[in-house]
Amino acid sequence: MGDEAGNTSRLAVALLHYPVYDKNRRVVATAVTNLDIHDIARTAKTFGLARYYVVTPLLEQQELSRRIVRHWREGWGAEYNPKRKAALELVTVVTTLDEAVNDLERELGGPVRTVATGAGGALRSVSYAAMTGLLARGDENYLLLLGTGWGLTSEIMDRADLILAPITGSGAYNHLAVRSAAAIIVDRLLGNRH
């Protein structure tokens, strides 16, 4: 879908730090983590995603995120690790999900459909095979929504255009780190199957 010369992907990813739940199902804003910025950016670059949005309304967290990204894109880190620079070129820090959608619509030149993810599943969820088919058609743009904390709020799930089926393992435990979930989901959607 994308390549080194020019990214043609119609899929991007957004990591929401608000609105998400805490373990008591209270709506909170979570802290940005350095690992999530780096690792999800690397996944996005590996699979040719159009953009990676870090969504947080907290000004201090926005500045921290921008400082981390700036270090690897412009500072000493850019010279030290050009591969990390290439991945972090995809990162855009925004205040809200709407800001991410509007930015992606401008970048890709058309409407964007949101695809929510979560461990709980939903009655109206789409399978990975169905989502892969939608992406393969290449006629629509999609923004994959990942939640931090204990997942995306019901408000975000309800407003999403699609809900992706959850990742399931071999047992009842289902609480992956968001960067692990991101890698699994994007590989299932865009990875080569040899």
> Does domain 11-190 correspond to CATH entry 3.40.1280.10?
yes
Give the model's pLDDT for residue 8: 54
The parts of the chain modelled with pLDDT lower than 50 are: 1-7
Q: Which residues contact 78 (CB under 8 A, 6 or more apart)?
A: 72, 85
Give the model's pLDDT for residue 4: 42
Q: What is the 3-state secondary structure (H, E, C) of 144-164?
A: EEEECCCCECHHHHHHCCEEE
Give the model's pLDDT for residue 154: 95
Q: Which residues contact 128 (CB under 8 A, 6 or more apart)?
A: 164, 165, 188, 189
Give the model's pLDDT for residue 153: 97
Please state the domain extents for the chain: 11-190
Q: What angle do CA 75, 80, 86 make, to 5 degrees?
A: 75
Which tens digits make up the pLDDT trace of 169-193?
888 888 899 999 999 999 999 998 7
Residue 145 pairs in a beta bridge with 14, 116
Give the model's pLDDT for residue 2: 41
